[in-house]
Amino acid sequence: MRYILRKLGLLILTAWAAITLNFLLPRLMPGSPADAALAKLAQAGPVSPATRAAIEVQLGVPTGGIGSQYVQYLGNVVHLDFGVSYTFFPQSVSSLVTSALPWTLVMVGLVTILAFVIGTLVGVLAAWKRGTWLDTLPTLSGTFTSAFPYFWTALLLVFFLGYVLRWFPTSGAYGASASPNLSGTFLLDALYHAILPALTILITSLGGWILGMRNTMINTLGEDYVTFAEANGLRNRTVALRYAARNAILPSLTGFGLALGGVVGGSLLVERVFNYPGVGYLLYNAVTNQDYPLMQALFLMITISVLVANFIVDILYGFLDPRTRR
């Protein structure tokens, strides 16, 4: 319980630091992002005083007390008020983020967990069968595929499985004629559209999990408790899973938490290739249109999501390791 509270405290502290970083970032940049944003906004339509104030607080104006801006900014963040997007004028930033977030969370989240689970299992097997083809094949191919740029894997899959073989759709999250609802047909369609982006993330991130798990597993296989378990004649499955793998999963899980940021970053590029309507694609649009309010909000949301995911991983770790319970 103390462990969970400590991790929760750390989460809040880190989130605060990330929010502050988000506050400082546009203010540290040369030029005036706020002025640029207001100019852009004026092109899109009339700017209400409220919107102007929101943007000034978010992106910083050259004048005005930074302290009061910061307080107001924190208030806006708590109310999820990030102003108005001028790329998708007059939609509010928060409504845009809210509609994009589920796509990314579900698709990227599920695939990442899937990749971690598969990679871990393959890593366990590779370490257990060290030196055989069951080890060499996944290790070598994993070394190679984990060096693939995410977007390149995506482009290759689009080209070969999408254009040449025409097996899967190459763009979007659902068919052009459909509109999002929870019917079976729609979900199937969404699943069909998610296969290629998911496959991309799977292929590119799998290698890292395999290699990581294999290495920690090889270390735990050298531990005395594994030798002792063998000396006591435990079944191979028990030794491999409950003794070696069960301990190897702990450092692997820590690695998972830390590598999560990288996977999320990579999946942003994947969404761009597939025009998948998640936060990555939205961020791409924000960046190309210099839609600073949208960009800032998205960066904050992505960071907070990764922090929360890390917190969940920490809690899971505490659950798996009795040493943290004391």
Asked if 12 touches another protein (CB under 8 A), the answer is no
Name, in order, each residue with C-beta under 8 angstroms of 45's C-beta and a sequence gap of 6 or more.
89, 90
**Which two three-digit tokens encode residue 322?**
């009795």
Site residues for another protein, 75-114, by CB under 8 A, read: none
Asked if 241 touches another protein (CB under 8 A), the answer is no
DSSP string, 254-309: HHHHHHHHHHHHHHHHHHHHHT-SSHHHHHHHHHHTT-HHHHHHHHHHHHHHHHHH
Report whether 98 contacts 297 (CB < 8 A): no
- The angle that helices 246-274 and 292-320 make with each other, rounded to 10 degrees, is 160
Asked if 275 touches another protein (CB under 8 A), the answer is no
CA angle 68, 72, 75 (to 5 degrees): 145
Please say which residue, 32 or 186, places its beta carbon nearer to another protein: 32
Site residues for another protein, 27-86, by CB under 8 A, read: 29-31, 33
Site residues for another protein, 206-235, by CB under 8 A, read: 223-225, 227-235
Site residues for another protein, 113-172, by CB under 8 A, read: 143-144, 146-152, 155-156, 158-159, 162-163
Within 10 A of 273 (CB to CB), how many other CB atoms are there?
23
What number of chain residues touch another protein (CB under 8 A)?
A: 78
Q: How far is the CB of 249 from another protein (least distance, A)?
A: 9
Asked if 264 touches another protein (CB under 8 A), the answer is yes
Q: How far is the CB of 220 from another protein (least distance, A)?
A: 10
* Interacting span for another protein (CB under 8 A) from 17-25, 62-70, 71-79, 185-193: 17-25
Distance CA(206)–CA(261), nearest Å, equals 15
Name, in order, each residue with C-beta under 8 angstroms of 235's C-beta and a sequence gap of 6 or more.
none
* Interacting span for another protein (CB under 8 A) from 77-85, 173-181, 183-191, 250-258: 250-258
Asked if 185 touches another protein (CB under 8 A), the answer is no
